[in-house]
Each structure stands twice: as structure tokens, then as C-alpha cells.
């Protein structure tokens, strides 16, 4: 029998009762009291969280997804390095004359990291993040900074991870002509990465990766709620 009562989502930590702060579009919530991460859906459900790069004093914690996935390269076609002349318009080429090389059936297991907040740079940032090492550094118990802006839900994780995986292939030093890949997600957790706001961007601590405020939809609110007045 169905309940006749409406379920109401109270944004309060189910563990400690602390109010959970977030923006109206947020679906990932972090309890600054007990350090749990929760995701809203039918009800608030816990999601695993790791912390990294929070060594600086005045940090902003930004939420990312860290996805453990197997990437199957179904088909990958590269072309020869020497055929870069644009004066080929009217000539008819077939694979051989372009030195196309096709490789099949590569498979690798990888960790793919990309923003869980709304940004126009989600894929390019993901490709850059993939080159970095983000080892886990647990936060000191009892003192958690806020983590605001997590609006990318689990239902989009596979699609975005797949986009980042394509971006990683494109960014390799060979000349990619075609790529077809499949992705199987084994697990996804939230990675809270410490960033330092500069005048115009969030810089990910310990890296040269900057995410311009102009590319982050909620940059102003994230800064304000993290203790930076704008």
C-alpha cells in the first residue's frame, strides 16, 4: 500500500542534525559538522567523499567526481604525421593514402576526475585533472570548511566520464582521426579538492590548473558561502 503522506526532504544531516548549506540547484551536500557527504534524491543518501589539496589556509573546497571506470577502446584511428597539408580538398583519399592506422580492443582501468559543479569547462578541466595525482588527505576531524555548488548528479556521471575519456584520447600526441569507446563505471565518489581563489579564478592547490570564475555558473555564491565576500 502506498503511503498517503508526502515525503518532505529536510536538508538536515541525518547523522548529527546539522543544517546542510547549499545552493538551490545543489544535489550534493556536505555536513561541515560531521564531514559526511549526502546526495538528494527520493531522500538524502550518503555518498563516499575523499579530500585532497587542502593544505593552504584560506581554501575553497570544490566538489568533483572521481570515477573508477574501465574504458574499452573499440576503435581508434590515427593518421600519419606528414599529411598535414590543407591542399587536399579536391583529391580523393582513401585510408591508405592518408596513412590511417586503426587499432582495436585496447582496454584500461582508469580514474577519471571532473567537476561536480556547473561549469562550461567540464571536459577540458577533466582532461587536465587526469594528469594530476590526487592522493587522499583526510581532513582534521571537527573542522570542515563548506563545500558548495555540487549540482552534477550520479545519473550524468557515466556520460561525462565518457566525454573526458574521449578528451584524453584526443589530447594524446598522435594524430587522432576517429575514436569509439565504451565506458563501464565501477564506482563514483565525491572528491573535495582544495582550491585557492585568485582575482579571477579558482586555482587547484598544488597544480597550475585554474578554473575561471566566468566559467563557473555559481562562482559568486560559492565564494560567498565559503567565506569570501565578492
Contact between residue 33 and residue 18 where contact means Cβ atoms under 8 Å apart:
yes
Q: Does 21 participate in binding Zn ion (rule CB under 5 A)?
A: no
Q: Does 38 participate in binding Zn ion (rule CB under 5 A)?
A: no
Q: Does 47 participate in binding Zn ion (rule CB under 5 A)?
A: no
**What span, in angstroms and rounded, lies between the C-alpha atoms of 187 and 69?**
7
Residue 206's closest CA among 141, 105, 129? 129
Q: Which stretch binds Zn ion (CB under 5 A): 5-13, 40-48, 49-57, 163-171?
A: 5-13
Q: Does 32 participate in binding Zn ion (rule CB under 5 A)?
A: no
What does the block give as the cell for 80?
600519419
Q: Does 48 participate in binding Zn ion (rule CB under 5 A)?
A: no
Q: Does 31 participate in binding Zn ion (rule CB under 5 A)?
A: yes
Q: In 142-171, which positions are buried (b, 16+ CB within 10 angstroms) versus exposed (e)?
A: eebbbbbbbbbebeebeebbbbbbbbbbee
**Choice between 33 and 72, CB closer to Zn ion:** 33
Rg (CA), the chain: 21
Q: How many residues bind Zn ion (CB under 5 A)?
A: 7
Q: Does 16 participate in binding Zn ion (rule CB under 5 A)?
A: yes
Q: Does 33 participate in binding Zn ion (rule CB under 5 A)?
A: yes
Contact positions vs Zn ion (CB under 5 A)? 13, 15-16, 18, 31, 33-34
Amino acid at each position: 500500500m502506498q503511503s498517503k503522506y508526502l515525503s518532505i526532504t529536510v536538508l538536515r544531516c541525518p547523522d548529527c542534525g546539522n543544517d546542510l548549506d547549499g545552493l538551490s540547484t545543489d544535489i550534493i551536500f556536505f555536513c561541515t559538522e560531521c564531514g559526511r557527504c549526502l546526495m538528494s534524491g527520493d531522500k538524502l543518501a550518503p555518498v563516499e567523499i575523499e579530500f585532497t589539496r587542502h593544505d593552504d589556509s584560506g581554501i575553497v573546497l570544490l566538489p568533483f567526481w572521481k570515477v573508477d571506470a574501465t574504458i574499452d577502446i573499440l576503435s581508434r584511428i590515427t593518421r600519419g604525421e606528414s599529411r598535414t597539408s590543407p591542399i587536399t580538398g579536391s583529391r580523393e583519399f582513401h585510408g591508405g593514402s592518408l596513412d590511417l592506422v586503426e587499432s582495436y580492443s585496447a582496454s584500461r582501468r582508469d580514474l577519471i576526475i571532473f567537476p561536480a559543479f556547473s561549469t562550461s569547462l567540464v571536459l577540458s578541466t577533466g582532461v587536465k585533472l587526469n594528469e594530476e595525482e590526487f592522493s587522499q588527505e583526510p581532513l582534521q576531524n571537527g573542522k570542515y570548511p563548506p563545500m558548495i555548488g555540487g549540482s552534477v548528479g550520479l545519473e550524468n556521471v557515466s556520460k561525462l566520464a565518457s566525454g573526458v575519456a574521449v578528451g584524453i584520447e584526443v589530447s594524446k600526441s598522435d594524430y587522432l582521426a576517429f575514436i569509439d569507446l565504451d565506458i563501464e563505471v565501477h564506482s563514483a565518489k565525491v572528491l573535495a579538492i582544495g582550491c585557492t581563489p585568485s582575482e579571477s579564478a579558482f586555482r587547484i592547490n598544488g597544480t597550475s590548473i585554474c578554473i575561471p570564475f566566468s566559467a563557473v555558473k555559481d562562482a559568486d555564491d560559492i565564494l560567498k558561502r565559503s567565506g569570501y565576500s565578492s
